[in-house]
Structure 1
Amino acid sequence: MAPRTTNRRSARMAASACALALSATLAACGGGGDGAEAGGDRTLSFGYHTGEMTPIGQVWAWWMDEVESRTDGSITFDPYWDGTLVKGPDIVESLTDGRVDVSQVMPTLYTTTFPVTSVHELPFQSSNSPAVSAAMAELASDEDGAVAQEFEAKGLHPLAWAIGGSSALGTKDAIESVDDLDGVRIRGNDRSSKVMGAAGANIINMELADVYGSLDRGLIDGVYGVPFGFVGPLKYAEVVKNFTDTGMGVASANALTMSQELWDSLSDEQRDAIAEVNAEVPGKIAEFDAQFDAQSCEAVKEAGAELHVLDEAEVERLRDAGYDTVLAEWKEAAGSDADAVLADYQAAVAAAEGDYPDYETGVASCFASQ
């Protein structure tokens, strides 16, 4: 399947350039702001912090196409990719003040805002991205649950969950054991990165846009927190020659989100159509992951890079190095609901994994194809 393109929406972007101006101008350009007729036709701005031609970018491009189709065009979108409308750290505020109508909230950038929701960041839970997507959707659907309440507290309504496939640890030198991590400077910003830090790596928080140049100039030795399917589009095989599956599993779940006010302003029919599309997102994640993993595999092989998968003994050594500390930190942040949320999450993931029994991580599937 070829990557999905959005020439139809790109044409609309030219007519909606004013949406890049002040939020008041955004509303005037047809966004979902005050004054829109309940359930009427509207054009919503969509902002994403990275590119359309990435696995998650393609999931959201598909999502917009389907919502437009299933609402018979009563909802349309003006998409802005690569952070041209809203940057990652500004997304929550931009959704609540009307600068953007729909965007992907990344709890990894808002650790104090979404401590319970970040249960998905706990390592060694699952490498099955579509299963984690379905599990997070289940937790968020409970209006009285802790996940839904965290979003409600910010005036937000989560729609669907895109899961970055298990991160490929890309490094200049091979990482084939926990000992190889000692002293390695790795870009990372999640709880799995903290585990590697406990194992001896030097973890450096860095914006994704700065990673390629920093690797190229030797400022860092590796990158973590990026799914293998992104390796090809981001051209990482040009600057690192080793990719390792650490066995820590999914490291981030990202919620496509709109404000609660905007959600409430939609008609029942529009909300039903969106909910129908949301329910199909886990399957699309599996589809696009496989597609982009295959492309990245070819790019890695063409670049002469090597692939590694830590064996069970090394994964257990990595877990022993830092998981208990990471878990304790999360529980303290999540508060009294922590144990119940983790149990619910683990049960939901285990159930959903049965729906996607053949899912493989990108590094593991590429490694097996050598």
Structure 2
Amino acid sequence: MKPSLKIRNIVYAVVAASISTAGTAWAETKLVYAGYISERSIATTLDTWFMDQVEARSGGDIKFERYYGGALMKAPDIYPGLAQGAVDFATGTPQAYNPKDYPLSNVVLPWITEKADAVVYAFRDLYEGNADLQKEFSSQGVKMMWALPFPDGGIWGSFPVRMPEDMNGKRIRAVAAIAWGVEAGGGSPVPMSFADAVEAVNRNALDAMANTPFDSAVNNGVPKVVAYASDAGRLGINSVSIASLNQASYDRLSDAQKAVINEVAAEVPGRYVELINASMSKAAERFLEEGAETEVILATDEEAAKWQEVMGPLMRSKYIEMASSVTENGGAIYDQFVELVRKYEPEAVYTPGLATYVKLKAGH
């Protein structure tokens, strides 16, 4: 991959900064971090926790130079920059912004599971056990560390969504894989930003909005402008953020430093589960306290099965199509991921946002 001028300039700037501080920090190993996701997000919160823990447990032997919120690189540049050594550690969504290089990482698709913790462990195991997925990262000079689901989505709007056909003829803000599902239900997916969608739904320019994580919806006042919020047949988790190290940067670490990195990284999934449940509970409490009269629709087992009949084969076929640019094993990879998710679901402790709200409301 030929580096862009922008990324080359970032590399030169980082190298220059490293040289300028070498005389005062010669005993340290400095790793440069870049992220673009909000500092308030769980993904970035855990990046910060990881870096703090590594610095502490290494006794200051490893230090991170941190660039949050796109300060060093914007979302599309994160993984190309990581591959080219402009940064050493980064979190991004390469499957969304760099799909030609990371098509297989887009295996976390809607209508597979609502259980965020099951996805964390399933993606980890898939990476560790699937040569094609490993190659996707290693061929870019990148070492995948963990993948964390964004909170579960739903459909928030002016009409109730209980079955796929309820979307027929409706204009719904939807992007990526959820847009495929909207089309399958006869709706018209409209790509637009989250903020623009909230405004459009409020003035009835759109019938509903999808790609709407529960906590983001509540924190941005969506319940105040819609009549219904549906889990859309347990649409569930539909994307992940992925944290990775530059492989050469990792290889340069001492065995002791690698041990610290690996030890802390292994604890991230457990920390994620604690934070995501707390985040959903906090958002549910706010939803209740603000008194919005939004009707919440949770799919029954029978309804969810009917959604699965429509969406399951669609998501699998779309994934095979995406994967075909790099492998003929797309179907097997998708099936392996789903099998791993099913393995972890029985012990999963995550409760989706809308379900958390319904449970909280019933207790009042």
> Which TM-score applies when normalising by structure 2?
0.83
Q: Which secondary structure does the structure 2 equivalent of 1:231 belong to? A: helix
Match of 1:327 in 2: 316
CA distance in 1, matches of 2:313, 2:236: 16
Measured against aligned partners, the alpha-carbon deviations of 1:34-57 in whole angstroms (never above 9, x if no partner) come to x99xx9623333332221212323
Q: Which amino acid aligns with 1:29?
A: A
For the Cα contact (< 8 Å) 1:50–1:83, is it kept in 2?
yes
Q: Which amino acid aligns with 1:200?
A: G
For the Cα contact (< 8 Å) 1:108–1:189, is it kept in 2?
no
Q: Which secondary structure does the structure 2 equivalent of 1:22 belong to? A: helix
CA distance in 1, matches of 2:194, 2:254: 37
Equivalent of 1:361, from 346, 352, 355? 352
For the Cα contact (< 8 Å) 1:103–1:256, is it kept in 2?
yes
Match of 1:300 in 2: 287
Shift of 1:266: 1.9
Counterparts in 2 of 1:173 and 1:343: CA distance versus 1, 3 Å? closer
Residue 162 in 1 paired to residue 148 in 2?
Answer: yes
Shift of 1:265: 1.8
Equivalent of 2:115, from 119, 128, 144? 128
Cα RMSD for the two superposed structures: 2.9
The correspondence of residues 246-285 of structure 1 with structure 2, limited to 5 A, is 246=232, 247-285=234-272
CA distance in 2, matches of 1:77, 1:348: 34
Equivalent of 2:12, from 11, 24, 45? 24
Match of 1:15 in 2: none
The correspondence of residues 155-304 of structure 1 with structure 2, limited to 5 A, is 155-208=141-194, 210-215=196-201, 219-246=205-232, 247-301=234-288, 302-304=290-292
> Which TM-score applies when normalising by structure 1?
0.81
For the Cα contact (< 8 Å) 2:287–2:357, is it kept in 1?
no
Residue 48 in 1 paired to residue 40 in 2?
Answer: no
Shift of 1:184: 3.0
Counterparts in 2 of 1:319 and 1:298: CA distance versus 1, 3 Å? same
For the Cα contact (< 8 Å) 1:128–1:165, is it kept in 2?
no
Match of 1:112 in 2: 100
Q: Which secondary structure does the structure 2 equivalent of 1:330 belong to? A: helix
Match of 1:13 in 2: none
Shift of 1:159: 1.0
Match of 1:348 in 2: 340
CA distance in 2, matches of 1:351, 1:40: 45
CA distance in 2, matches of 1:266, 1:186: 48
Counterparts in 2 of 1:72 and 1:93: CA distance versus 1, 3 Å? same
Measured against aligned partners, the alpha-carbon deviations of 1:107-138 in whole angstroms (never above 9, x if no partner) come to 133333222222222x3322211121111112
Match of 1:57 in 2: 44
For the Cα contact (< 8 Å) 1:159–1:258, is it kept in 2?
yes
For the Cα contact (< 8 Å) 2:149–2:239, is it kept in 1?
yes
Q: Which amino acid aligns with 1:366?
A: Y
Q: Which secondary structure does the structure 1 equivalent of 2:329 belong to? A: helix
Shift of 1:361: 0.9
Measured against aligned partners, the alpha-carbon deviations of 1:5-29 in whole angstroms (never above 9, x if no partner) come to xxxxxxxxxxxxxx9x833112333
For the Cα contact (< 8 Å) 2:107–2:319, is it kept in 1?
yes
Counterparts in 2 of 1:365 and 1:101: CA distance versus 1, 3 Å? same
Match of 1:103 in 2: 90
Equivalent of 2:307, from 314, 318, 321? 318
CA distance in 2, matches of 1:230, 1:102: 26
Shift of 1:87: 2.1
For the Cα contact (< 8 Å) 2:43–2:241, is it kept in 1?
no
Which range moves more in the overlay, 80-89 or 262-271?
Answer: 80-89
Shift of 1:196: 2.1
* Percent identical: 23
Shift of 1:271: 1.9
Counterparts in 2 of 1:44 and 1:212: CA distance versus 1, 3 Å? farther
For the Cα contact (< 8 Å) 1:54–1:229, is it kept in 2?
no
CA distance in 1, matches of 2:27, 2:126: 30
For the Cα contact (< 8 Å) 1:129–1:165, is it kept in 2?
yes
Counterparts in 2 of 1:134 and 1:30: CA distance versus 1, 3 Å? farther
What stretches of structure 1 of length at least 5 have no aligned partner?
A: 1-18
Q: Which amino acid aligns with 1:130?
A: D
Residue 137 in 1 paired to residue 127 in 2?
Answer: no
Q: Indicate the structure (1 or 2) with the bigger Cα radius of gyration.
A: 2
Q: Which amino acid aligns with 1:171?
A: G
Q: Which amino acid aligns with 1:289?
A: I
Match of 2:328 in 1: 336
Q: Which secondary structure does the structure 2 equivalent of 1:266 belong to? A: coil
For the Cα contact (< 8 Å) 2:38–2:44, is it kept in 1?
yes
Shift of 1:221: 4.0
Counterparts in 2 of 1:257 and 1:220: CA distance versus 1, 3 Å? farther
